[in-house]
Amino acid sequence: MKLKVKLNKGWFYRNDVWFSKAYLSLPISARDLLQCLVTEINKVQDKRTKKWKETRNGELSFTETQYIKITGRCKGTYYNAITELIRRGFIKITHRGGGRGRGDSSTFEVLISEELIKEKQRWRRYPTENWENENPKAKDNMVGKKTQWKKGQSGRKLDSTLSGCTLINDSPPNGIDPKNE
């Protein structure tokens, strides 16, 4: 697998992000994932105005396999990091990967960009608001719902399923009596 993080790139965190309550309360694993996502933002210079413009924000993807390879952490840590970043308002899911084959991974928008207006920068409102309800959850995962045990049911079958094939009857099951040979 090709390493997706470009090691010759970086990202400048402004002090209002760096010293915010939202950023300081992030676990290290979530900070690492945020760094991996922001380094995927491309910047191009407008030839006319000579200003740098961010592209691809909203189409950023960093899979659990890539995260595991670069950090050495487990996939549960990856999903916990996504949960924390969404909850604190640093990222927003733009497409939830549904596992429809190779290449269908979740895409994110990073909300610490300088180009976003302050109302869209959710992390600024973190202690009073959180976005935990936007965390991805598996939809319609009803596998085995009909066969689950009901309340008060033990699962033990009271009727024998082999009642016609036991040696309790007078005749042996194959018709040959070993005593009469």
Rounded to 10°, the helix 75-87/64-71 angle is 110
Share of the chain above pLDDT 70, in %: 66
**Number of neighbouring beta carbons within 10 Å of residue 78:** 22
120: in domain: yes
Q: Which CATH number goes with the domain that contains 112?
A: 1.10.10
Tell me, yes or no, whether 88 lies in a domain.
yes
pLDDT, tens only, 109-165: 888 877 777 888 888 888 888 888 877 666 666 666 677 777 666 666 666 555 555
The answer as to whether 10 is a domain residue is no
Question: Is residue 35 in a domain?
Answer: yes
**Residue 166 located in a structural domain:** no
Residue 155 lies in a domain: no
Residue 103's domain comprises 15-134
- Stretch (H or E) spanning 23: helix 21-24
- What is the number of domains present in the chain? 1
